Each structure stands twice: as structure tokens, then as C-alpha cells.
Chain A
Amino acid sequence: MSSVNKGDSTVANHRKSFRPNSEGKVLLVILGVLVALGGGIATLMYPSASNQGYAPDQPIPFSHKLHAGQYKVACTYCHTGVEKSKHATIPSLNVCMNCHSVVKTDSPYIKKIRESFAAGKPVEWVRVHELPDFVYFPHKRHVAKGVACQTCHGEVQTMDKVYQATPMNMGWCMECHRGKTTPRNVVAEISKINPHVNDPSYRHKPIASVQCAACHH
């Protein structure tokens, strides 16, 4: 509601120079209410680009805490596309069945998966992390430079239900690309091809592409 605050301070400044009469006060109040209302509607209509904290219910309550945390199944065991594609990819049902044809077959959820698999009907997961259509984010390029999954997705191995842990808006991306929040291991990796990034004088220069067309095309 920054717009409303700004409006108030403007009013305060004006008070020093002239005293509004009571009608003027009413007018100002009405104006203030209108601005607040407008801001409220605007917030409703155009929510922040960030979906941070978004944690939808999934058709099957798959627990990353159990799989990735307790049993230490590698992320890439299921998300096979992450090293070779733009997309990390959600595993197909046959990957689930690799283990669950023998593991915990009596669970009602596993039964549901087995039935889906047998019927050839895919599970419809609710998308948690979603960038706008005009953003092209390549997973493979980031993984190749040693960016850990947790850097963007949070501590997934501790999540029973996956939620969006980071803002994932453009400013947040740019902080990392400009070197402000870049993980150390990634800087070290980049320094192999661009030794200048270790140079103190390089501090204010981006360490990854900040060209618009790198992501927007």
C-alpha cells in the first residue's frame, strides 16, 4: 500500500502552507479513501508476481521429506530432465512403479498409483513452481554450473508438502546473476572460464547473463 502512504505525506507537506477548511478536509478524506480503494482493487486484480509460499494440495500427498530426506533418493532419480533439458520434468508413473511395485504396496495412495498405471491414466499434479509464459528458464545450464536444487526450490528434502520457498520473480533472479547472492561454489565454477569474477574490481559486474533475451524470447 505504498501509494497510500505517499499520498498522506504529500498532504502533510501541504498543511504547512495552507489550512484547508472543513469541506476541504472532507474532500481530502474522500480522496484518501478512493486512493486506498483503488490500491486495494489493484492489489486484488494484479497480485504480486511472486507466488512465494504457494503450497497446493496434490492428488497424491507425495512426501519429498520421506523420499529425498529420509531415504535419500537423489533428485535426478525422478527429475531426469534436469541435466539435459530446460525442464526438470515430473516423473512418469513407470518411475514410481520402479520401487512401488514391491514397496509399500498396501498403502491406499500407492494403490491409486497402481490403478492409474494399469489404466494408463496419468496423475494430474498441481503445478507449484510456475514462471510466466514469456520466461524461458533452462534447468540444464544452471545445474551444469553447480547451482543446487535447494538454491531456488528451498530445502525440498524437509518438505512434506512442496511449497514455493523463494520469490522466483525477476529481481530475485537478477540478484544471483549480478553476483550478489550467487552461491560460492557457482562463482568458483564460473571463475574457471572467467577468472575475473574473483577479482575485487569485478564485484559490481554481472557474473551470469543479464541480457533480456537470455530469458525472454
Chain B
Amino acid sequence: MDQTTQNTPRHWVGTEELNPSYWQDEKVREKRAQEFHDKPIETLAAIEKSEGFELARRDFLTLMGASMAMSTVACVRRPVHKIIPYVVKPEEITPGVANFYASTDPESGSGVVVRVREGRPIKLEGNDLHPMTRGALSARGQAQILGLYDPERLTAPATRKRGGSAKKSTWQELDAAAIEQLKKVAASGGKVAVLTGEIRSETTRRLVSEFLAQFRQGVHVEYEPLALDEVVAGQELSYGTAVMPSYRFDQADYVVSLGADFLGTWPGAAEASTLWVGKRKLNGPVAENKTLSKLVTFESMMSLTGANSDERHPVRPGDELKVALSIAQVISSNGAQIGADAQSLVSGYRPDVVAKDLGMKDGGEAIRKIGLELLKHRGRSIVIAGGISSKTVDAVALQAAVNLINSALGNEGQTIDGTSSSAARGVGFAALQSLVQEMRDGKVSALVIWGANPAFTLPSAADFVESSKKVATVISISERDDESAQLADLVAADHHWLENWGDAHPRKGLYSLQQPVLAPIHDTRSGQDTLLVWTHALGGKGADSWHEYLRASWREGVAREFGVAAAGFEKFWEGALRDGVVDTMKGRPPASSARSIRSAAVSRLPKFKASNPEATLLALYSKVSMGDGRHANNAWLQEMPDPITTVAWDNYLNIGPAAAEKLGLRQDDVVEVTSEGIRIELPVNLQPGLHPQTVAMAVGYGRRNVGKVGNGKGVDAYPMVKVVPGALVFSGHEVKLRRTGRFFKLAQTQWHHKSENRPIINDLTLAEYIANPGASNHTDPHLRLKEVPSIWPVHDYSKGYQWGMSIDLNSCTGCGACIIACQAENNIPVVGRDNVRISREMHWIRLDRYYSGSPEQPSVVFQPMICQHCENAPCETVCPVLATVHSEDGINQQIYNRCVGTRYCANNCPYKTRRFNFFDHWKSYEGTLNMAWNPEVTVRSRGIMEKCTFCTQRIRDARDKAALEGRHIKDGELKTACQQTCPTEAISFGNINDEYSKVAKLRKHPRDFRALEVLNTKPRVSYLTKVRNTVAAAAHADGGHGADNHGGGH
């Protein structure tokens, strides 16, 4: 009855699986039956030849020997430990009991709650009270706790001679030197520039302007490398207001994304995911829902948004504009008003012409249909564009085209809100470019770089580094001695944001407060305090400390807006500190109104021009884990496998399998990419779903001065960015590829822990689902084992709490926040690139990504795979020492202190969710990093098996709390770490014996299925089938839908 087949599967992982001869290969069959897809020793032998491989086998045997000898010596004496109590215990601290503080991540503006044990933060979670993110936190947000304890942060202020190495200094010395220089500038009337990253705090911006007011000329420039400045520029062009609009995905039934990764790498992606998924839930809060919104994507690199779309078309970078204008042509010729000028312009963009140019073989049918669908969804649709992979020379024109369509469809003011968001400031390249020009001309006397890293994120053509040498005084306020701090004479060590005060103003009426949650670890000082000290020394007035400054600002600003008199301020302030947010709108989104479109924008739209069908075009993109590269020293983020490519630790050149074959490139071949004299060498990753003329690489890698973890990991892609007046062009330029003949083994996890070719995942089209909601349950009735006699005594699961989990594949966007949340909560170690290369990653959540359909245009489904907590657990029956046994509440327990490391359990796990500690990974945690461990979870040593525990420490905690209060645990009171952080509430956890619990209801949902149910493991984790809003089977037409779905087992 085994379902294992040797046929081409419907859901595939790599394109090789689509080749029937692959399955005839005896070696492949053997491989797929093993615990690891590739035998570690053989892999090791192969990758020892790879570049960047540091783990020599002989070395680690020696290391192992040494640590063994040391451990035997250490055991001879009984350890004597000290207990060191407080001298005066703070009233609010009880050792062993966590305190929770609300704060705000200034990078994303999302509200967080920090769990603090004995004065040290150990976990970040989203703030439930924050109306925009509602408890969600992204992977990058989750990982900030490790960044706080990064041992390579600056520990004290430093001085340096230009270009030399940093010399430790004191604050007196640094302040004296800085003030002396600044006084000189003030006296001579020279210009001072403050260059920062995007500052979401109005108070901080005012503080900067007060600092600059001490000089005759001062300028504050904000710069974000991945800024959506073209969106803001497009808004200004079309509507006359420079804003970043809010997109109301919860109001939209039809969404067309033209290269906009709003679910993945856009700022505020967690919020967008929350809204978007509201229209994708088939289990509504009140009743069953049988409608889905539809998401259509045209993009160059496959992003999370593309992976989640119902229909995805790969294009070249820059083609997005053609698609937009073609859609405009369809809607205008079918009754929508876009204006005469525009109409005559778009007449050149007939769908058939554009489709032919794009290499689409349907004669424009797809584009025409999208246009007609959009017309059907007037006022209930969104066309959205923006992001670096479509940031070509025509980026603003693309925005103008998109705005034209949205206004013509009446989406403006309905699903697109450009009136309630606070005014956007230019955080793009334009302002920085004029500053660099002034620096080059010697017009800037002093430059303060704070929280920005232009020396890394700008291409050399932007001339920042050379121009900085013309500035007499360069001061850096920085957390680390990074590429830009290296240019400075004085480096004022900045706090981590968890050590600092602050606020954010994400939209009208909503203020979010940031408070320090621990005493500064090092001799650092917040950037705001530093500027205040200098402002005062130069004769400025006002509050002495940043804390007082912020309070004063709230007393006079925010509190007044809320109608709080000065006498009631303390109470208001304490409330804001407790909740983390204050909101005049009480969670409701503010009302918006439509703006009228300016016809002038049409003049920016280009006439149709055919593309060169030979050129290979480059698209740059950013990864959900790495972003612009500022957190490159964060090992959790480096080791997080990319949700799409499943590669950890490096960046690479993505190229379609067919295009690669043409060039003779294979996976992991190092290739030379050349564009206008800039040359980069990096390994190749074969990525299905790319246009044959597109290659893509991620920015944020190849840092030079970030720390031990991030330095030299991957290749810096920023040099590929082109500079034009007023903007940076990230994508769309032609590149030449050349094989170097070398190879670099990428730490790609897609083949690790793969099961044999058993159908493990389900998806349906909406039509199939409506016709038969339970269709996924009956893919093959023969293979559903209902009642099978067991040879083991059967547990009685009818009483008490019985924990179960349900994961909705329709809601899971694959953002990976759960992976990092789990890592932070459960002390999961980082193993390093070389260990990931040989299948030894330790993540308890494996985010499986499956493709279906053709490699040119695949559909994607994500499946978070964790320990399934089987009631008939195959691991339990083979453990010789009973280290893995079942608990009364239905949890498959892993008892570390009993485990002797036979690894039988991992061998016998059909889901391959068990992880083995091949080394004492905790030993690689240096100094302050050890403060990041969660004291509630054992730190595992070498030779121990581990896996998902359903956050058993949280269950214990909830049980203790409920028992002491003499009640039962309420549904929803207890959340696992992954469930808590999930932006789309894809994960539900609770007591399946309580018929009213959410998880019990979901387990009865017609879409519910258990992975590999045929094995009769009776998993406690169940999945809800993915349902796509596509026309039945169209996407699978060439993917072999049908017979092979049923396998060959019956």
C-alpha cells in the first residue's frame, strides 16, 4: 500500500524530477530512500573542492578529540556554583518570572513586545495592540534579539586617522574633538550635513533640525537603498502629493502586481500580508467562505508575492511598464476613461503586440483577460508596482501608468488610500546625489553619518567614498565599525534600538512608542543624546537628555492631539509605555478620498519600442532575510534558507534552467557577470519561473566591515547599480555571462530531508473546491487508512488536554518568520555554511517549497514541515533508550538527557523533521551572544537529537498558571512561538478535545488533510489544502496533472 512512486510527481522540488529518466536511475531511488538525500561523507568529498569551504575533515576530528578529552577531565570535580543575589532587588523583577515591555522597531515601525528575564531581553514578539501589525513580526524583526547581543557591536566610542584603524576613545575625548570641529564650522559659516537612514520618528527629525540650526547652513538627508522612492515620485507626478499610499488589500478582490513584492520585501510587508490574507481565508470567522481574491503577478525574479499569486508571468525587468500600458489599452478600449492623450499613446500597446514582445505564447489573451477582469472589479481592485527588481530607467513612468489604471478603475480613494498616510519624505537617492555633488565640490565642511551605510549601499559610480575625502570632518554615529564608519574621523558608538528611547508615526492618528528594555550593554550612547550634547555645546537650548526631549515632545505634541491636558500627561505617558501605541482611530483605518489625476503624467509615458530578444537583462532584488544587508552579521538571518531558492548564507545568480542549459551552466558553477565594465563573480542557482532573458541576484551580501559572521559572505551586488541624474537604476541593464570553470557549493537545503516520492501536499483550484470542498481528502480513497490494528498498546487520548496544530497552506505566504521565531524561542543553534552544505542545519521548522506545472511558469506552494507529533510515532518504537516517548497530552516528547544519539529515530521519521547535534554548537556562541539563550529551554549538547516540542515550555507555563488560578487553559491563551508571530494566522494551536477550540473546528474542515496519512502515523499536525483562484487545471496542463497524482501504489 505504499504510495511511493517512481513517476514524475505533480509537485516537484527541482527540475530534474520532471525528467522521467531521473526516476529510472537506481542511484536516485537509493538516494531518496535515505535519511539524507546525499550521503554526508560523499557530499563532503565533493564539496571539499568547492570555494569557500573551510571545514576540513581532519581538523574537526582533532577538535572532537580535544573536546572529548576536556569533557572527561571536567567531570572529575563536582561543580561549585555561586548564587549572586541582587544587592537591592528591583521591585518588578522576580528571578524566574518574565517581564514584558512594549516597544517599537524603528527600522520597520512595527510594534513589538519584548520578553525580559532578569533584566535581559530574550524574545521579541509582535504587539497585539498595534493596529497595523496585530501581533505579527517578520523574520528580520524576530532576529533583532541576536543583533542586540552581537559581540562585534562597538563597545566604546572610537577615533581614527582617515583610512586608519579605529582607536578606542572615551566620551569626553570624543565630545571634545567633535565640538571643537563643529564650533570651527559654525564660526566659519560652513555647511553641515546629517546623513541618516529613514527616520520614522518626527521627534528625532526635529532634534536633527535643531542640531543643524546651530549652523548657518545645514541639511538633513535621509537615504534608504531599497526605498520605494519611485512610488512616491509617481504619486507626486500623478496626483501632486508626495505620499506612500496605503493599499487596502482587505478591500480588493483583484490584485495585479507588476514587480511589487508587497508580501515579502516591501516595507510593511507583515501588515500587507495580514490585510491580503483576509480575502484568502476559506474558513471565515462567521461562516464558510467560498470566494477568494485573485492575485496576478508579472515579475522578473520570483518573489514571495509571485509565489503566492494565482497567476504569475515571468517577464524581463522593465517589461512591467509594457504590461501596464497594455492593460491600460484593454481597459480604455473597453469603456474605461483614461484621457485622449493616454488613449492614443497606449494604442501602440495592443496585448498581442506586447505579448509577442514579452515572449508570451498566448497572443495577448492573458493580458486581455486581466484587463477585462479589472473592469469587472472597478473600485475593488489594485494595480501595484514598485521595488528594486523593476527599478529601471522607466520606474517612475511605470508608476504613472499604474496610477492611470487605478484612477480609471476608480480604485483611487477606495482600495488605494493616498490621503491618510503621513507625507512621505524623500528617502531615495535624489537628495543624496546633490549632497554628494556638494561634498565633491568641497562645499560641505562637516558630515555626520548616522544609521546609514552609503559606503556599502551605493555603487562606486555614485562617488560617495571619494567625495567624503573632500569633507574636513566626517563623524559617524554607528552601532558598528562598518564601511561608512571607516570613512569617519570620529565614531560615536550608538545604542542598539532596544537600549534606546524613540517613537514612530506610521499613519495619521497613530503613534508608537519605543522604550529601552535593558541597561546599555556597552559604553555606548544613543545618537539622539550625542546630537543633544553637541547642540548644547554649540549654544542650543532645550531638554538635557533624549528621554526628557521625547517626553516633552509628547507632552506638547501627541498628548495635545489626544486632548490630554498637561496635568494628565503622566497617566497618558504611562499608558503609552504600557501599550506601546496610542491611536486616535481606535484601530479603524482612517477614511480616504479620491484624488484627481493630472494629465501631465501622461507625457512621461514612453511610446512602444520592441525589446532586443537576445540581450540578457539583470534584475537586482532583496531577500526577505537579508534586506539591504544591514543585518548581515546576524547569523540567524544568514542561515535562514531563502523561502524561494532555499539557499542559506550566500547570494547567487538566478537563471532559468533552460537558459542555463543554453549557456552550459549548471547549479553551483561560478559565473562572471559583466555590465559596462563592472565585473562580478558568483555561483549560479537554477531558478524555475524566470524569463529566459532574465538573470537575478540579491543585494545586501558581500559586506566588508560588518563582523565575523557577515564579512565576505556572498558577493556585493550594489556595484551593479547604475547612477542616472536623480535616481539609481537597479535593474534592466544588459549583462554578459561567462563560465569561469570553478564551482562554489551553495548551502541549498531543497534536497535535504526530502521524503521518498510520496504525495505529501495538496492543492486545488477554487472551482474544484466549490464543486467538492473535500476533494483534497479523497485524492485517493484507497490510500486513506481509516482503522488499522496497531501492534502497540493504544493510548487513551479522550481525556484532558490534547494538543494539536492546524496549518492553513492557503494562508501561508512562506515569509519564514516562524523559522526565526522558533529559533529564538527554542535555543536552536546556528551551524554555519559548511554544516548546512552537508544537511546538518538545525531549524525545527523546515519551510518546504514545492513547484507544480512547467519550469517556465510554475505554481508554488509552501508547506511548513515540523514534527507531526504522530499518535503512532515511528520514532518512538525504534528508540532503544526511550528518549522519545508520548505524553498523556499527545505530544511526542524528546528527552535530551535520556538521548544517547543513536539517530534511529531520525532514520525512521517519514517526515524527516528530527535534527541531530553533530557538534557542541553552543560553543560557537561568543561573549554577549550567550545572553540570547532562552533560560526556559535546555541548551543541547553534542550527540543529542532534537525537534519541535510544540513549545512544551509554554504549555508548562500555561498549565502552571491555569492550575494556580484553578481553571482550564482558554483557547487562544496559549500560543506557540511560530503561531504567535505568523502575520497571516496560518497556524492554529490548541486542545483538540475541546470541540469549540479553533483547532478542533479546523480539523473537521473539509480541506483538512494529514501529511503522509497512508503511513497510519496519525499526525497531530494537520494541514488545510491550498486553494488557488485559477481556472481548473489550466496551470497544470503541461505538468502532468492527473494519473500520477494518484501514484502507482494501488
A residues near B (Cβ < 8 Å) are: 44-47, 51, 54, 56, 80-81, 84-87, 89-95, 116-117, 120-127, 130, 132-136, 138, 140-141, 144, 211-214, 216-217
Contact = CB atoms under 8 A, between A and B. Distances in A.
Contacts of B72: 45
B956 A136 contact: yes
B893 interface: yes
Nearest to A45: B75
A85 B88 contact: no
A217 B897 contact: no
B9 to A, nearest CB: 36
Ranked nearest first, the 8 interchain pairs of A and B with the lowest CB-CB distance are A85-B96, A92-B86, A92-B89, A87-B96, A86-B96, A127-B81, A94-B88, A211-B887
Contact of A212 (B83, B96, B97, B895): B895
A95 B87 CA distance: 9
B87 A122 contact: yes
A214 B956 contact: yes
B937 A217 contact: yes
B879 to A, nearest CB: 12
Contact of A89 (B80, B94, B937, B952): B94
B87 A120 contact: yes
Contact of A125 (B83, B96, B895): B83
Given A93-B85, A123-B85, A212-B895, A81 B94 contact: yes
Given A211-B887, A216-B896, A85 B87 contact: no
Contacts of B285: none
B58 interface: no
Nearest to A192: B966
Given A89-B95, A94-B88, A130 B960 contact: no
A213 B83 contact: no
Contact of A85 (B82, B84, B89, B94): B94
B66 interface: no
15 contacts: A45-B76, A56-B80, A84-B97, A89-B85, A90-B85, A120-B87, A122-B86, A125-B84, A126-B82, A127-B83, A130-B81, A136-B956, A212-B893, A212-B898, A217-B956
Interface string B52-88: 0000000000000000000010011011111111111
A89 B96 contact: yes
B329 interface: no
Interface residue tally on B, bucketed by range: 35 or more
B926 interface: no
Given A133-B938, A138-B960, A81 B952 contact: no
A87 B953 contact: no
A206 to B, nearest CB: 10
Given A93-B87, A213-B956, A133 B95 contact: no
A6 B794 CA distance: 38
Interface in B877-935: 885, 887-889, 891, 893, 895-898
**Which of B83, B97, B888 has the most chain A CB atoms closer than 10 A to its own CB?**
B83
A73 B78 CA distance: 32
Interface of B: 72, 75-76, 78-89, 94-97, 885, 887-889, 891, 893, 895-898, 936-939, 949, 952-953, 956, 960, 963-964
Contacts of A84: 94, 97
A75 B354 CA distance: 83
A124 B84 contact: yes
Contacts of B80: 56, 126-127
Given A125-B83, A217-B938, A140 B88 contact: no
B78 A85 contact: no
Contacts of B83: 90, 124-127
Given A90-B83, A211-B893, 11 more contacts: A80-B94, A84-B97, A89-B95, A123-B84, A123-B85, A124-B83, A125-B84, A125-B85, A211-B889, A213-B956, A217-B956
A22 to B, nearest CB: 37
B88 A213 contact: no
A80 B84 CA distance: 15
Nearest to A87: B96
Given A211-B887, A211-B893, A94 B87 contact: yes
A213 B896 contact: no
